[in-house]
């Protein structure tokens, strides 16, 4: 009796402390949102207070200067197309590498795993040379090809582990029924891989959506800018103009926060899955 009561008080105290920590975590968002609708003068005199008047005009101007719809669309297309192709190509490779355990496929798998340790920055300089030689520079399809290359090792690795857990009997039954190898993969195996495909998709989507360095090296034209690049270019021009910069930042973070709040369950599961397999 006494113990449970103590426990309950302990829990209540823990809860209060954790809520305070949560407020601490949220303070940056408070500053960001509240100040994004202040006039420049209001913002300079007191950044902590609520706005004296709400200036939506800040957003209208930032929206225009960053050319937000274009940047959003570029980010969206790059993230979705890279991911769909990445998931498909990796699933096919992982499936074949598990089911045909040849020496070649075993060595290839070891190389993929080893490549996961290679930092992007350690190959970015010659990468620029390679991409310009084969004509992938300054184009969105070119950038997508780069994402396919960089995404494949981890995607194949995660899917490889998953294919191993799929029982062979189902495929054998289908083969006996006269389905060929491609039919077996696309109609039977691929649907079974769905949980891990979602995990891979989400982990890669967060990475590609937020990536700055690779697109900054590949894309030069202003009309090809993604959200991080457009934000960076904007800051170069409007340093310290916080009444424009903050609304631009809010627009930059909003899509991914909305995505997170909607897909939270899958994102958390995806990270757990990715970590367990990694």
Partner 1 sequence: MHQHKRNSQWTQQLVFVGPALIFFALIIVVPFLLGLYYSFTDWNGVSGEVAWVGLDNYKQILTNDTVFRDSFWFTAKFTVLGVIFTNVLGFALAYFLTKKLKSRNFLRTVFFMPNVIGGLLLGFIWQFIFVKGFAAIGDVTGISFFNLPWLGTENTAFWAIVIVFVWQTAGYLMVIYISSLNNVPKDILEAAEIDGASRGQVLRSIIIPLIMPAATVCLFLAISWSFKMFDLNLSLTKGGPFGSTESVAMNIYNEAFSKNRYGLGTAKAIIFFIIVAVITTLQVRLTKSKEVEA
- Subset of residues 79 to 138 that bind partner 1, contact rule: CB under 8 A: 89-90, 92-93, 95-97, 100, 105, 108, 112, 115, 117-127, 129-130, 134
Minimum CB separation of residue 211 from partner 1 in Å reads 7
C-alpha torsion 134→136→137→142, nearest 10? -170
C-alpha torsion 17→22→24→29, nearest 10? -170
Taking the C-alpha atoms of residue 116 and residue 92, their distance in angstroms, rounded to an integer, is 19
Helix residue ranges, H only, 38-102: 40-45, 57-65, 68-99
Minimum CB separation of residue 104 from partner 1 in Å reads 8
Residues 6 or more apart in contact with residue 273 via CB below 8 angstroms = 158, 195, 196, 199
* CB closer to partner 1, 1 vs 275: 275
How many residues interact with partner 1 (rule CB under 8 A)? 90
Q: Which of 6, 9, 31, 220 binds partner 1 (CB under 8 A)?
A: 31
Place of tokens 């980010």: 75
Binding mask 186-225 for partner 1 (x = CB under 8 A): --------------------x--xxxxx---x--------
* CB closer to partner 1, 192 vs 271: 271
236-275 residues in contact with partner 1 (CB under 8 A) are 242, 245-246, 249, 252-253, 256-257, 259-261, 264, 267-268, 271-272, 275
Q: Which of 81, 113, 140, 152 binds partner 1 (CB under 8 A)?
A: 152
Q: Which of 71, 199, 228, 243 binds partner 1 (CB under 8 A)?
A: 228
Q: What backbone torsions phi and psi does residue 176 show, to the nearest 5 degrees?
A: -60, -35
Q: Is the dihedral of CA 201, 202, 203, 207 positive or negative?
A: positive
Taking the C-alpha atoms of residue 223 and residue 5, their distance in angstroms, rounded to an integer, is 63
Minimum CB separation of residue 246 from partner 1 in Å reads 7
Taking the C-alpha atoms of residue 226 and residue 49, their distance in angstroms, rounded to an integer, is 33
* CB closer to partner 1, 11 vs 77: 11
Residue 20 engages partner 1 in binding (rule: CB under 8 A): no
Taking the C-alpha atoms of residue 69 and residue 76, their distance in angstroms, rounded to an integer, is 10
Asked if residues 143 and 83 have their Cβ atoms less than 8 Å apart, the reply is no
Q: Which of 182, 221, 223, 237 binds partner 1 (CB under 8 A)?
A: 182
Q: Which of 9, 18, 60, 170 binds partner 1 (CB under 8 A)?
A: 18
* CB closer to partner 1, 15 vs 172: 15
Q: Which of 1, 2, 5, 48 binds partner 1 (CB under 8 A)?
A: 48
Token readout for 219 is: 């894309």
Minimum CB separation of residue 115 from partner 1 in Å reads 6
Give the burial string for 237-263 (b: 16+ CB within 10 Å, else e). ebeebbbbbbbbbbbbeeebeebeeeb
Q: CB under 8 A: which stretch of 66-74, 163-171, 178-186, 192-200 binds partner 1?
A: 178-186
Taking the C-alpha atoms of residue 266 and residue 108, their distance in angstroms, rounded to an integer, is 30
């Amino acid at each position: 009796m006494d113990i449970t009561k103590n426990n309950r008080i302990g829990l209540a105290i823990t809860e209060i402390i954790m809520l305070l920590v949560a407020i601490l975590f949220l303070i940056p968002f408070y500053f960001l949102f509240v100040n994004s609708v202040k006039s420049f003068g209001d913002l300079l005199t007191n950044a902590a207070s609520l706005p004296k008047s709400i200036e939506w005009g800040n957003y209208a101007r930032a929206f225009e200067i960053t050319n937000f719809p274009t940047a959003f669309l570029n980010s969206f297309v790059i993230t979705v197309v890279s991911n769909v192709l990445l998931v498909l190509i990796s699933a096919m490779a992982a499936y074949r590498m598990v089911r045909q355990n040849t020496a070649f496929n075993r060595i290839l798998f070891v190389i993929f795993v080893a490549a996961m340790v290679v930092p992007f920055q350690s190959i970015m300089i010659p990468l620029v040379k390679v991409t310009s030689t084969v004509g992938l520079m300054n184009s969105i399809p070119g950038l997508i090809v780069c994402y396919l290359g960089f995404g494949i090792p981890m995607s194949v690795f995660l899917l490889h582990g998953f294919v191993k857990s799929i029982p062979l009997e189902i495929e054998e039954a289908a083969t006996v029924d006269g389905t060929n190898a491609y039919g077996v993969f696309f109609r039977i195996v691929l649907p079974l891989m769905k949980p891990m495909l979602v995990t891979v998709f989400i982990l890669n989507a967060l990475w590609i959506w937020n990536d700055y360095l690779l697109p900054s090296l590949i894309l030069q034209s202003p009309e090809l800018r993604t959200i991080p690049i457009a934000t960076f270019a904007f800051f170069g021009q409007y340093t310290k103009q916080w009444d424009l910069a903050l609304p631009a930042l809010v627009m930059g973070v909003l899509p991914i926060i909305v995505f997170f709040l909607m897909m939270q369950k899958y994102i958390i599961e995806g990270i757990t899955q990715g970590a367990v397999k990694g």
